[in-house]
Structure 1
Amino acid sequence: MSRTPQRDPNVVYYNTSHPERSILPRLDPAQFLSSFDRIYRVRSFLYSGKNWPNLSSSHNLCLALHSSMESLQQLLQVTRTFSGPISLSLFTPGPYYGLINLFLQHAAKCHPKVMRNLAIHVMFPIQFPLTIEDIPSNTEVNCSTPYDLTRHRLAAFKKLVYPESRMRNLAQRGCPTPFTFIFDIDMRIPEQFDKDVEYFLATKGNRCPKCIFIIPVYEVDGLTAYANLPRNKTELLDQVKSKKARIYHIKTYPWGQKMSHLEQWEKLPKDVGPHVAYELEKYQFTYEPIFIGPTSMPSFDERFTGFGLCRNTQFYELFVAGFQFHLLNDGFLIHMGFKVPGERKPWKSKELLRNQRLVPQFAQEIKVKYGRDPCQMSLKLRTYRPSKWKDIDCPINEKPLENNVQSMINFMNVT
């Protein structure tokens, strides 16, 4: 008598005869919407997990993540310590759509808790429309071994510019909560931080509709990051003291976190739960903090694509628009691994140079849009070389002025 072979409980068996197992639907590329400039095709909410409706209506904070296929493996780690709704935008040129779908099926079986909290949105270049290939019926994925997507990397897509600003905006637009937290998928949140911040936003954050809450960002060396990630401020400061952790980009781009004054933050006593430690006193164009902000805040300017100036330019608009900047005392973000000088790829330098050339026109438009130009920042950004932008700062004490249209309305009402 023949026996049915025993199946390994750690292995997921896929079969194309069960299309309901597919996470991303098998849509024709023409069913995706074109971007305003007809460079990309986009679809929102191709997938939403079982918990998404309840989480998105009951939470104050939504995590907005973006990823290409090469980085998607980190989704499982970054979401492990976040219990709220997660809006994820994915870049899926060509066959990557099908490969990412395979990874997501693996995650749905092996990490169901992660998938239940997700909403997924997709973007791909029109010149590389997605292709959907059947998954072989004998495909097996072992749940005890992380699924390695990078082995499928194709040389044809290595030169594609990753549309970072668009991907962040796509993820942010998927967040229905009052506040959004946007950071990169290679960063980690300490345990309990999401619940503490949720309470803070519910009790204090909603009192200030134009407040930005800046989160300290540190980087931890590779071995420590994977073996002993700091769980609280005390453990983080211990690792800073032993030189296993340091301020993010301190060796490669120290101006990125300079205005946060993290040396001062490190001296503050640890408290129970996050609260405002201090307000920023100065603004600097090269400052690129990571923060929690109202979901209705200005989005990233999509003319800045690829590497460099995506965060700087969004924060510049927030500054001109009159937002208030508060740094939280408890809680932080961790980047996995130290940033090392000289490791920047040549293609990143080219993308940065292109984005730098767009800044003067962008700053001029922001000046006109809000009817104000604190410290003549737009003039300085036009006349200073990019290497000197780090020398431009401005006190944050000027009251925001109403724009020209609102000023005219007020004048007419008075008269």
Structure 2
Amino acid sequence: MRQFIRFRRWVLFVLTIFLTAINLLWTFCLLETEINSQRINKSYNRITKKLVAMDRINNATIPPLNQRINQTLVEKNSKHNFRLAFDNINFETGRWDNHRHYKMYDFALIGDKFIKSSYENIVCLATQSSVERLYSLTQVAHQWNGPISTAVYVAGNEEFFILQHFVTYMRLCFSFIRDNVTFHIAVPSNKKPVQGHIPNLVNSFDCQYPEQTLRHLLKIRNPDTIRWRLKNEYPQNHLRNLARKGCQNKYVFLTDIDIIPSANMVSLLNKFLPSVKCSYRCAYVIPTFEIDNRAKFPASKPELMRLYRKGLARPFHEKVFIYNQYATNFSIWLSNSSNEDDRAHISHVVTNFEFLYEPFYVAFDDVPAHDERFIGYGFTRNSQVYEMFISGYTFFVLSPVFTCHWGLQQKKARPVWREQQNNLNRKRFEMFKHEILARYKKKTTRK
């Protein structure tokens, strides 16, 4: 009997300890949930205060907004029943990249006429951007009258809120954004946004100044977010693959967000591409120039050549890194304009391929993917073009179409972090090169 009593006391003691532990654990979980909720609410409150303060500062420091434009925004908002962009995205879903470093959200927002435009045109423009450069999309979409697949990299709550407001603003202000542009989002695994309610300030923005509007929105980012962005590599190749696979067309024109197409390019390519007779793996290079910020964007090749003769335009990266576009052979492209008409045609064939060649080109959507081992700066685009060359692609330079990048770039001392990324990618390329040569069974003497 005594043994039984001792055993029962022991069981009660163990059960008491177990229930106490469960109670403590449950209390801790509730406290942690409440703390996290408080953190999120605190973040939302801080961002909301910044947005409201920013709105007051804007109204006090910049000229009064055009009442007609603001009224148009209000009318469009009412007519189209606009809500903040991406308000239905769930960041607990999405698909991982191969190394589970980033999550991708395909077709996070689809242009109203994107599908229709994809059926009507043979080529789609695919581009990628960080949040702070997204203002360039307004000029890109204005020039490119066709489907556009845009991948945007977003880190944390603040950048996602900026993206929501700015994309909503662009869609309300510019019909060519609302109709033709589809957005995809990539986020880092350790800085996923958390959705919450914030005030819609879109009606306080001026449709005439997209770059200024974005710069004001960017002021809500705190120093920690900016420092995080500087320390962590920008996944360019992930975004390029994401944007390209969002295109629904036979041909894809893959660019960066600050590369502006010449006028009427979609129409010219719609007529040219069905007529080409490519026997084996062809890519059509669109020559890229950089133009002085003081100049007006050239409406045609003759206007571009006038800027070139005045020193207000020159081949892209000519002073910064000439091999970037050298193989395009701009001297031939510039010299054969006298007998050209307005139709797109092949100017010449690239015969002097350089390893570091990084042209912007139009091709079938079966070209090799951009290798996602290359993160940050260095060897991101040229490694993909190198694989195309090794696999047997021929590069044809088109005329009179072209693209431009604003600003005559000068060689400056690069920051340490950028050179470190470049050196790391250079080491990665050595392994990549051996893999490519083995895959396509080419001799290592071909460079």
TM-score, structure 1 as length reference: 0.83
What is the match of residue 223 of structure 1? 294
Deviations 1:311-332 (A, max 9, x none): 1100110011111111113111
- The whole-number CA distance in structure 2 between the counterparts of 1:78 and 1:213 is 19
What is the match of residue 237 of structure 1? 305
* Equivalent residue for 1:355, pick from 396, 406, 425: 425
Aligned partner letter, 2:308: V
Q: Say whether the 8 Å CA contact 1:273–1:330 is kept in structure 2.
A: yes
Number of aligned positions between the proteins:
365
What is the match of residue 16 of structure 2? none
- The whole-number CA distance in structure 1 between the counterparts of 2:104 and 2:434 is 30
Q: Say whether the 8 Å CA contact 2:324–2:356 is kept in structure 1.
A: yes
Q: Say whether the 8 Å CA contact 1:274–1:331 is kept in structure 2.
A: yes
SS of 2:294's equivalent in the other structure is helix
Matched, 1:164 2:228: no
Change (3 A) 1:348 1:138: closer
Sequence identity percentage: 26
Q: Say whether the 8 Å CA contact 1:46–1:120 is kept in structure 2.
A: yes
Matched, 1:368 2:438: yes
The residue correspondences of 1:13-412 to structure 2 (distance < 5 A) are: 21-95=83-157, 96-136=159-199, 140-146=204-210, 147-148=213-214, 149-155=217-223, 156=225, 157-159=228-230, 160-204=232-276, 207-208=278-279, 210-224=281-295, 228-269=296-337, 270-342=340-412, 344-373=414-443, 375-377=445-447
Deviations 1:181-205 (A, max 9, x none): 1111112112112211221112226
- The whole-number CA distance in structure 1 between the counterparts of 2:145 and 2:444 is 39
Q: How much does 1:107 deviate?
A: 1.2
Deviations 1:375-394 (A, max 9, x none): 343xxxxxxxxxxxxxxxxx
Aligned partner letter, 1:182: L
Change (3 A) 1:79 1:138: closer
- The whole-number CA distance in structure 1 between the counterparts of 2:247 and 2:164 is 22
SS of 1:334's equivalent in the other structure is strand
Aligned partner letter, 1:173: K
Q: Say whether the 8 Å CA contact 1:257–1:287 is kept in structure 2.
A: yes
Change (3 A) 1:217 1:165: same
Q: How much does 1:369 deviate?
A: 1.3
Change (3 A) 1:208 1:102: farther
Aligned partner letter, 1:39: H
- The whole-number CA distance in structure 2 between the counterparts of 1:324 and 1:137 is 50
Aligned partner letter, 1:51: K
Deviations 1:91-132 (A, max 9, x none): 111121222011111112111221211111110001001122
Q: Say whether the 8 Å CA contact 1:70–1:153 is kept in structure 2.
A: no
Aligned partner letter, 2:297: L
Q: Say whether the 8 Å CA contact 2:143–2:262 is kept in structure 1.
A: yes
Q: How much does 1:373 deviate?
A: 3.1
What is the match of residue 387 of structure 1? none
TM-score, structure 2 as length reference: 0.77
SS of 2:142's equivalent in the other structure is coil
Q: How much does 1:248 deviate?
A: 0.9
Aligned partner letter, 1:89: A
Q: Say whether the 8 Å CA contact 1:278–1:326 is kept in structure 2.
A: yes
- The whole-number CA distance in structure 2 between the counterparts of 1:145 and 1:248 is 26
SS of 1:29's equivalent in the other structure is coil
SS of 1:25's equivalent in the other structure is coil
Aligned partner letter, 1:181: F
- The whole-number CA distance in structure 2 between the counterparts of 1:172 and 1:98 is 25
Q: Say whether the 8 Å CA contact 1:279–1:325 is kept in structure 2.
A: yes
- The whole-number CA distance in structure 2 between the counterparts of 1:231 and 1:50 is 28
Q: Where does the alignment leave 5 or more consecutive residues of structure 2 unmatched?
A: 1-65
- The whole-number CA distance in structure 2 between the counterparts of 1:177 and 1:105 is 26
Aligned partner letter, 1:219: E
Q: Say whether the 8 Å CA contact 2:127–2:148 is kept in structure 1.
A: yes
Deviations 1:243-300 (A, max 9, x none): 0111111111011111111112111123322111111223211111111111111111
Q: How much does 1:372 deviate?
A: 1.7
Change (3 A) 1:8 1:310: same
Q: Say whether the 8 Å CA contact 1:94–1:128 is kept in structure 2.
A: yes
Change (3 A) 1:144 1:326: closer
Q: How much does 1:20 deviate?
A: 5.5
Q: Where does the alignment leave 5 or more consecutive residues of structure 1 unmatched?
A: 1-6, 378-415
SS of 1:62's equivalent in the other structure is strand
Deviations 1:38-77 (A, max 9, x none): 1011110111112111111221110001111110111111
- The whole-number CA distance in structure 1 between the counterparts of 2:391 and 2:135 is 37
Q: How much does 1:137 deviate?
A: 5.0
